[in-house]
Amino acid sequence: MSAATESGTFAAPAIRQKGILIGDEWSPAVSGKTFQTINPATEEVICEVAEGDKADVDRAARAARAAFESGPWSKMDARDRGQLLLKLADLMEENLDELAALETLDNGKPIGDARAADLPLAIDCLRYYAGWADKITGDTIPVRGDYFCYTRREPVGVCGQIIPWNFPILMVAWKWGPALATGNTIVMKPAEQTPLSCLRMGELALEAGFPAGVINIVPGYGPTAGAAIVKHPLIDKVAFTGSGETAQRIMADASTTLKRLTFELGGKSPNIVFADADLDAAITGAEFGLFFNQGQCCCAGSRLFVEEAVHEEFVERVVARANQRVLGNPFDTGTTQGPQVDKDQFDKIMGYIDSGSKEGATCATGGQRVGDRGFFIEPTVFTNVTDEMSIAREEIFGPVMSILKFSEMDEAISRANNTTFGLAAAVWTSDAKKAHKIAASVRAGTVWVNCYDVFDAAAPFGGFKMSGMGRELGEAGLANYTELKTVTVNLGE
């Protein structure tokens, strides 16, 4: 268990689990292979983790299938499934400091964020879905004739769940909550950059009392372990969060088995600030909406549209805020920005910073690496950004803000919609009409009005257009994990 020292620095946690979870047993990979997981703040190897691939996924899928079709899980009362989720949430709370420290170690996110955001949101999500377990009902249907017709909402079966590295434990909760509340079983693959918190969650799930085979975890790489999940005939569904390119690959690979697919993908979310907004709040929202989690958020407000009349003042103040961010050891409670997750992401972001300058935007602050160990990048703000520049079109997934100027509401709407993405958007204004007009006109799955990144387990989240398929969270998230069955009973002679 980590604890804060007097100086406000948390200690790195012990690594308890590095294996593959199949049934209720931890084992090495069938191949015996391992891969390294790296601390992005120091570039040091944290540990070696079992590298699962096709053979391990096959074992996991069989265990999950068996648990789905027979055994205690398949016969368990719905309310008892909910109790297990509540127990798991309690165990997370008891081990909150350790889980948060694992997240900081493996991902690089500031410990303050992990403790105040990732963990509480994940725990809340499991509790929210625990409440649904015994409230998943069908309908009675008034059909013609002497028949009694009703529907049942049954679990889909074995769910493959493939998650990214930006919110590792939160993604576990978003995926496990609805899948388990509805009675499915799981084969999960955490991201190769951040397997550790997911593995610890596997231990806690067994401690909570989930029966063997309900949750199986296969750490490994995407093209091997991930692809094996997508292609496995015993797996009924794949829920994926990650990049659009990988989603396209998954869709193609899933076609042979016609798996149910849900995707939560990238974005280039417009954050629109009108001159009549509360500028203090809008500046805070712009900073948080872009720089939170080192800019590694699929819903980052990465196209910041600012109305001409306040553009100059806004830029000056937002740059000052960017310069106040505290980069450093993510285990220090005072740190507000940690490193990017790995070298690939670091290089990609530095490439975008380079292209922003080359394409004619003005780098108002930042733009450089910080230090020579760890993947730290200065909070960066580009002004004079135009719609066709790559920093205004492509997802950067880093601490790089692009500010664009606008003068008319209709112009802001059409430019906001001029993208293949549609995950989120925000508007800052004191005019309720403008706010609702924007909320109705922007083609995105979530619109925040005078706020940013407000998430709640009860509020659906997901993308329009190439930002996703299906919704997570809320009642809508249950639909991804149930099949609808119609039963017609002859009541006649």
- Binding-site ranges for ligand ADP (CB under 6 A): 162-164, 189, 191-192, 221-223, 226-227, 230, 242-243, 246, 249-250
CB contact at 8 A, 306 and 314: yes
Sequence letter at residue 113: D
Q: 271 has which bridge partners?
A: 304, 426
CB of 121 to ligand ADP, least distance (A): 20
Largest CA distance in the chain: 83
Nearest residue (CB) to ligand ADP, 150 versus 221? 221
Question: Nearest-CA neighbor of 477 among 183, 182, 202, 247?
Answer: 182
Nearest residue (CB) to ligand ADP, 52 versus 379? 52
CB of 150 to ligand ADP, least distance (A): 38
Question: Nearest-CA neighbor of 401 among 284, 293, 302, 471?
Answer: 302
CB of 167 to ligand ADP, least distance (A): 11
CA-to-CA separations, 48 to 102, 217, 488, in angstroms, rounded: 15, 16, 54
**CA 443 from centroid of its chain's CA atoms:** 20
CB contact at 8 A, 21 and 217: yes
CA 254, CA 229: separation in Å to the nearest integer?
9
Nearest residue (CB) to ligand ADP, 38 versus 442? 38
CA 295, CA 317: separation in Å to the nearest integer?
19
∠ CA(105), CA(111), CA(112), 5° rounding? Answer: 170
CB of 448 to ligand ADP, least distance (A): 23
Nearest residue (CB) to ligand ADP, 189 versus 434? 189
Phi/psi-derived region of residue 158, left when phi > 0, alpha when psi is between -120 and 50, beta in every other case: beta
DSSP-derived secondary structure for 218-260: --B-IIIIIHHHHH-TT--EEEEES-HHHHHHHHHHHTTTT-E
**Cβ contacts of 230 within 8 Å, gap of 6 or more:** 160, 162, 238, 250, 253, 254, 259
**CA 413 from centroid of its chain's CA atoms:** 27
Give the pair of three-digit tokens for residue 323. 């310069």
CB of 457 to ligand ADP, least distance (A): 22
Query: Which residue among the candidates 298, 307, 378, 472 is catalytic per the annotation?
Result: 298
∠ CA(248), CA(461), CA(174), 5° rounding? Answer: 85
CB of 265 to ligand ADP, least distance (A): 8
Active site residue 264: yes
CB of 164 to ligand ADP, least distance (A): 4
Cα atoms in the 13 Å half-sphere on the side-chain side of 489: 7
Nearest residue (CB) to ligand ADP, 133 versus 163? 163
3-state secondary structure of 37: strand
Nearest residue (CB) to ligand ADP, 243 versus 329? 243
- Give the total residue count for the chain: 493
Question: Nearest-CA neighbor of 99 among 168, 42, 35?
Answer: 168
Nearest residue (CB) to ligand ADP, 230 versus 297? 230
Nearest residue (CB) to ligand ADP, 163 versus 353? 163
CB of 140 to ligand ADP, least distance (A): 40
CB of 222 to ligand ADP, least distance (A): 2
Query: Which residue among the candidates 98, 103, 192, 264 is catalytic per the annotation?
Result: 264
Residue nearest to ligand ADP (CB): 222
| Pure H helices in 325-430 | 343-358, 390-393, 409-416
Nearest residue (CB) to ligand ADP, 249 versus 405? 249
CA 344, CA 342: separation in Å to the nearest integer?
6
Give the pair of three-digit tokens for residue 65. 């299938």
CA 260, CA 85: separation in Å to the nearest integer?
24
Catalytic positions are 264, 298
